[in-house]
Amino acid sequence: MNTRKTWSDNLHTGESVYLTSTEILNKMRSDFDIRRYYGAEGKSVVIDGTVEQVIIQQHTNPINAEKVDRKICVAYNSILKTGSLILYEGNYWLTISEIKDVDGAYKTAQILQTNVTVKWQNSSGTTKSYCAVYQNPSGIGTDTNKIIKSQEGKYEILLPLNSDTVAIVVDDRFVFGTLTGVKNVVVLDNDFISHNYNNGVDGIVILTVETDKKSSTDSTSLMIADYVAPVVVPTPTGNCAITYTGKPEIKIGGSYTTFTAVFKDSLGVVLPNITAIWTVIKPSGYESLITTLPNGNSIGIKAANDIGTVGDTIVGKTIVLSMTELTGAYSASINIIVKGLI
């Protein structure tokens, strides 16, 4: 196959096939598309939340049979970056190498299956959670000139590089589950420089850690070391009621019956600084017989012993008592029955 820069190059040489560099690139991309969509190694994965069709390759050399990293090949316009988390066959994989461009046709990188979930609370108390790689300091999948040489008894935690993971400092502690049980570790170093690419946009951080003792403040149920329970701030929930003694009723000719508004927050604590706004709907034709006496969060109601303007007794009629407050977050309503003297 011959190539030429322009259509006029080698126009009369008699060669049967001529491809420009652009045509070669397009053919390489087309060949790659065929492999990723129809080849045995083609896989559908989710990269940082975006579905992509890629090629996943395992080690074929027997010398590397025990290595657990994989090679991923993605389209030239893929969003893949160092530190990307890839959901592949039900597991998350971390992109641990620099992204290599293959002649503009596609890109490749090394990925390593995560084996732990690391959780912690940041300085504001917000819980952060990331899939991570917990390993011996073997440098699997990292560039050979960037392997961290840790002392015996130390381990590495590989995480995506971002504002959360860069903020991890020496003496921070973690607790997480592994195949061999729960691990408690303390951070000795946070290397967020060696694998920092694209001006800090891409990369991974490598935490050097060592085994630590379990602390009484560790939450193994939440898998968060030095856990601080968040302060629950009560919020309005519209939890209010109109209270009274006995039944919601008043007797004709009697004294005032008192009804009281009670407001509570989301924890059930009574809120004393909310003032009720009362509404009384009196039975039609008997309005003059009903007297009300509002007094803050209480209201007195009584009924006269008389006949209404409709020429019938008020006994058995219903008074609707409602209340709310300025914000409208709380409201309640009850029906009050007017009873006779007996």
Say if residues 243 and 336 touch (Cβ distance below 8 Å): no
Q: What is the pLDDT of residue 306?
A: 76
| Same domain? 108 vs 130 | no
- Give the CATH number, domain containing residue 292: 2.60.40.10
* Cα separation, 80 vs 292, whole angstroms: 72
Cα(first)–Cα(last) distance of the chain, in Å? 112
Best CA proximity match to 88, nearest among 134, 124, 53, 121: 53
| Same domain? 84 vs 95 | yes
Q: Order across the sheet with 331-339: list the strands.
A: 249-251, 331-339, 318-324, 277-281
Best CA proximity match to 160, nearest among 121, 122, 112, 219: 112
- Tens place of pLDDT for every residue, the chain, 342 residues? 555 555 455 555 555 567 899 999 999 999 999 999 999 999 999 999 999 999 999 876 666 656 778 999 999 999 999 999 999 999 999 999 999 999 999 999 999 999 999 999 998 889 999 999 999 886 554 443 343 444 567 999 999 999 999 999 999 999 999 988 999 999 999 999 999 988 878 999 999 999 999 999 999 999 999 999 887 666 656 588 999 999 999 999 889 999 999 998 877 888 888 999 999 999 998 999 999 999 999 999 999 987 766 667 889 999 999 999 988 888 999 999 999 876
Residue 85: enclosing H or E segment and its boundaries? strand 85-88
Range of the domain at 2: 1-113
Go through 8-17 and write b for each residue having 16 or more CB atoms within 10 A of its CB, e for each that does not. Answer: eeeeeeeeee
Best CA proximity match to 52, nearest among 30, 77, 24: 77
| Same domain? 158 vs 224 | yes
Query: In terms of DSSP H, where are the helices of 7-137?
Result: 21-38
Partner residues linked to 249 by β-bridges:
337
* Cα separation, 83 vs 117, whole angstroms: 15
Q: What is the pLDDT of residue 18?
A: 77
Q: How many domains does the chain have?
A: 3
Best CA proximity match to 183, nearest among 198, 196, 173, 195: 173
Domain termination site, one of 86, 113, 140: 113
Number of H helices, E strands in the chain: 2, 24
Domain termination site, one of 61, 88, 113: 113
- Give the CATH number, domain containing residue 105: 2.40.10.210
Q: What is the pLDDT of residue 137?
A: 82
| Same domain? 28 vs 18 | yes
Q: What is the pLDDT of residue 208?
A: 95
Say if residues 305 and 253 touch (Cβ distance below 8 Å): yes
Q: What is the pLDDT of residue 19?
A: 84
* Cα separation, 287 vs 262, whole angstroms: 27
Residue 132: enclosing H or E segment and its boundaries? strand 127-135
- Give the CATH number, domain containing residue 139: 2.40.10
* Cα separation, 48 vs 50, whole angstroms: 6
| Same domain? 16 vs 52 | yes
| Same domain? 118 vs 227 | yes
Q: What is the pLDDT of residue 149?
A: 45
| Same domain? 97 vs 133 | no
Domain termination site, one of 113, 143, 162: 113
Amino acid at position 329, single letter: A
pTM of this prediction? 0.64
| Same domain? 100 vs 127 | no
* Cβ-based neighbours of 227, under 8 Å, separated by 6 or more: 121, 217, 218, 219
| Same domain? 11 vs 92 | yes
* Cα separation, 45 vs 59, whole angstroms: 19
| Same domain? 225 vs 249 | no
| Same domain? 126 vs 68 | no
Query: DSSP assignment, residue 232?
Result: -
| Same domain? 299 vs 217 | no
Go through 284-317 and write b for each residue having 16 or more CB atoms within 10 A of its CB, e for each that does not. Answer: eebeebbeeeeeebbbebbbeeeebeeeebbeeb
Say if residues 271 and 333 touch (Cβ distance below 8 Å): no
Six-digit token pair at 30?
Answer: 């087309």
